Chains A and B, each alone.
Chain A
Amino acid sequence: MARVEIANAGVDPGGPAAPGGGAGRTAPVGAVPVLRRAAAALTGDTWPGFLVRRTGRLSASLGVVVTASFAMIHLIPGDPVRAALGIAADPAQVAARRHDLGLDRPLPAQYGSFLANLFHGRLGDSIVSQMPVSQIISDRLPATLQLVIPAVLLILLAGIPIGMLAAVLTRDGRRRRGELAFAATTGILAALPEFLLAVGLVAVFAVWWQLFPVAGQSDLSSYVLPVLSLTVVPAASLSRVVRVEALRVLREDYMRTARAKRLPARLVYLRHALPNLLTSSLTIGGLLFTSLLAGTVLVENVFAWPGLGSTIVQAITTKDYPLVQGVVLVYGAAALLITFAVDVAVAAIDPRSTVRGT
């Protein structure tokens, strides 16, 4: 809409009775319009403009994460080193460790070297194990990813079809009882905390039926319960979201158009409804994926899974602040990248979402 009006706005109507027409307009000449057009392309409601804006936001958010993880150690009330080493620690030892960590230098200098180290992939050493934090993270990250990636795929493959089917079967208030059953089942599943589900799954499948191991990362069967624990809750949430979105889409005028065209049901739902609900569902799905990251922390602890999640909890309990710092950084950056990827995917599916403000 706006585009059409912009196109017209420059046209001088030049009507005979136009009072004040053409007053104060300076026509841009030469290179200025070219530059202006380039700037417009980058800041306007276009695909490159969207990418530029979105990347800008991503960098700003990453900056926040970096700063927050740096600030964390300074926000801890009291002396974090003394807290980490214990009250009985020798003052000289505390001072030495403070020096090792650079905590005795002025704050801006610390921030500067923190950024410089980060740039070179150095995140400091663990207070407890003395190992480089980056080393610990790269050891543990694969185990976490091996849970997250299958979980994400399963969530999408289960959540979208189930939600869509539920919407089609219960549209416009059909099958009230089926709607109730779906809402109740997925509602309870979606409200279930991952770690409780994990405990339940362990009790049933590992302790009673002894189908899968209780904990630890070993052969393929050891993956089943952790992945399932991560999948069920977000899949239930996603199917609820998809259903609501699908019901909204099914009420749209263009779905009436599709029915008026007497298209077969397959086309009506898959071609006309699905693309329209994917965009909004994916946006909300992005939030589910970031919360999946958090879910790994708990699930890994239930299954004693050697990933980042169990690492950060150990680090917090042992007050191993550099390690906490590093893992928080990784998790935060991962969350931002996921949201970024989802936004870009949505924009690719639906060009309208590149319009500013959405």
Chain B
Amino acid sequence: MSSLELRGVGVRYGRFTAVEGVDLVVPDGSVTGLVGGSGSGKSTVGKAVVGLAPLTAGRILVDGADQPRRPGRTAVQLVFQNPYASLDPRLSIGAAVAEALPKARRAERAAEVARLLGLVGIDPARAVQLPEALSGGQRQRVALARALAARPGVLIADEVTSALDVSVQGAVLNLLRRLQRDLGFALLFISHDLAVVRYLCDQIAVLESGRLVECGPTAEVMARPAHETTRTLLSCIPALPARTAPEAT
């Protein structure tokens, strides 16, 4: 499997600086949470890694080798936020997953598609269906299956649950965590929800105005947030008495 390393990464659109001087290492087989408010540049970092955002400074390394500047088949895959926009409405979900597979014989492809759909908990018999027949959570599973089909060493999950209802969110997160542990890819998990990040990630990186303001092991950052932005994000998590209640009563 692979590790991802960002060295002094900067992204500028014209005169607007979206990301500047970001240094971050996502070690092999671990999960790093990238958090920040809207407009903090966290999605841009993810896009820059796969070449969808123009890298104007620094280097992005996967297993020590430079990522190409333009999008193309690499060891990194990305899952988008909105499951309603990330699947081609005219392509059956089986075809969408098959597109991501390495070149192989037709029969092998069909078997592999079925295996991947099964892996994310979608009945392989539904491979012929169009995305419109699926719910939001199911679409996100298909998007995950498609990303896994490319055998990624690094997976970037960009707010993958923020378009989903709370009751569905848990299932997708459970799946992501299980797959990451089973398959061992490095995961860059982009989110604004620190409670989710806390559950999933080994390490947390906090972005503010395109700059990395805090980075460290999850437990440490949660317990002793050093930067104002981190404290603000922490204070935004709603306090649900229920979780402490059992111990209290």
In-complex Cβ contact of A18 among B15, B16, B214 (8 A): B214
From B221, which residue of chain A is reached at the shortest CB distance? A17
Q: Could you tell me if A20 and B16 are in contact, using CB atoms closer than 8 angstroms?
A: no
Q: How far is the CB of A33 from chain B (nearest CB, A)?
A: 13
Known contacts A4-B39, A8-B209, A9-B17; A17/B23 CB under 8 A: no
Q: Is the CB of B226 within 8 A of A9?
A: no
Q: Does A19 contact B (CB under 8 A)?
A: yes
A24 near B21 (CB under 8 angstroms)? yes
- Does residue B228 face the partner (Cβ distance < 8 Å to A)? yes
CB distance from B108 to the nearest CB of A (A): 45
**Is A181 engaged at the interface, CB distance under 8 Å to the other chain?**
no
A260 lies within 8 A of chain B by Cβ: no
A142 to chain B, nearest CB (A): 47
- The reply to whether the CB of A40 lies closer than 8 angstroms to some CB of chain B is yes
Contacting residues of chain B (28-45) with chain A, CB-CB under 8 angstroms: 39
Tell me, yes or no, whether A31 is within 8 Å of chain B by CB: no
Interface string of A1-37 (1 = CB under 8 A from B): 1101110110111011111111110000000000000
The binding surface of chain A is classed by DSSP as loop
Q: Are A9 and B21 in contact (CB under 8 A)?
A: no
Q: Do A13 and B15 have beta carbons less than 8 Å apart?
A: no
CB-contact partner of B23 in A1, A4, A20, under 8 A: A20
> B198 in the interface, Cβ–Cβ < 8 Å?
no
Cα A178 to Cα B54 with chains together (Å) = 52
CA distance A6 to B18 in the complex (A): 9
**Is B215's CB under 8 angstroms from A17's CB?**
yes
List the B residue with the shortest CB-CB distance to A40: B15
A13 lies within 8 A of B226 (CB): no
B167 to chain A minimum Cβ distance, whole angstroms, is: 27
Which residue of chain A lies nearest to B22 when distances are taken between CB atoms in the complex? A20
Q: Which parts of A43-69 form the interface with B (CB within 8 Å)? A: 44
Contact mask for chain A residues 157-177; partner B; CB cutoff 8 A; 1 contact, 0 none? 000000000000000000000
**What separation, in Å, do the CA atoms of A16 and B213 have in the docked complex?**
8
Partner of A17, one of B15, B20, B226: B226
- Do A1 and B39 touch (CB < 8 A)? yes
Residue from the set B18, B211, B213, B227 with the largest chain A CB neighbour count within 10 Å: B211
Interface set, chain A 132-163, CB cutoff 8 A to B: none
Q: Take A2-B16, A24-B8, A24-B21 as given contacts and tell me if A17 and B216 are in contact as well, using a CB distance cutoff of 8 Å.
A: yes
When the two chains form their complex, are residues A20 and B229 in contact, meaning their CB atoms are under 8 A apart? no
Instruction: Check B213–A18 contact: CB distance below 8 A.
Output: yes
Q: Which residue of A lies closest to B24 (CB)?
A: A19
B119 located at the interface, meaning its Cβ lies under 8 Å from any Cβ of chain A in the complex? no
Residues of A within 8 A of B228 (CB): 15
Bound: A18/B210 CA distance, A: 12
Q: Bound complex: CA of A200 vs CA of B18, how far in Å?
A: 61
Q: How far is the CA of A8 from the CA of B20 in the complex (A)?
A: 12
Q: Do the beta carbons of B213 and A21 come within 8 Å of each other?
A: yes
Q: Report which of B22, B209, B216 forms a contact with A13, defined as CB distance below 8 A.
A: B209
Q: Please measure, in the bound complex, the distance between the C-alpha atom of A20 and the C-alpha atom of B213, giving whole angstroms.
A: 9
- CB pair A20 B226 closer than 8 Å: no
* Complex CA–CA separation, A16 to B215 (angstroms): 10
Identity of the chain A residue whose Cβ is nearest the Cβ of B20 in the assembled complex: A9
Chain A CB within 8 A of B208 CB: yes
Q: List 22 A-B contacts (CB under 8 A).
A: A1-B39, A4-B39, A5-B16, A6-B15, A13-B208, A13-B209, A13-B211, A13-B229, A15-B208, A15-B213, A16-B227, A17-B214, A17-B215, A18-B214, A18-B227, A19-B212, A20-B23, A20-B212, A21-B211, A21-B213, A22-B21, A24-B8
Interface set of B (CB-CB < 8 Å, partner A) = 8, 15-18, 20-23, 39, 57, 208-216, 226-229
Report A's interface with B, CB cutoff 8 A.
Answer: 1-2, 4-6, 8-9, 11-13, 15-24, 40, 44
List 9 A-B pairs, minimum CB-CB distance, nearest first.
A15-B227, A15-B213, A17-B214, A8-B209, A20-B23, A17-B226, A20-B21, A9-B17, A13-B213
Given known contacts A9-B210, A15-B229, A21-B21, what 14 new A-B pairs fall within 8 Å (CB)?
A5-B209, A8-B209, A9-B17, A12-B211, A13-B213, A15-B228, A17-B214, A17-B227, A20-B8, A21-B211, A21-B213, A23-B21, A24-B57, A44-B15
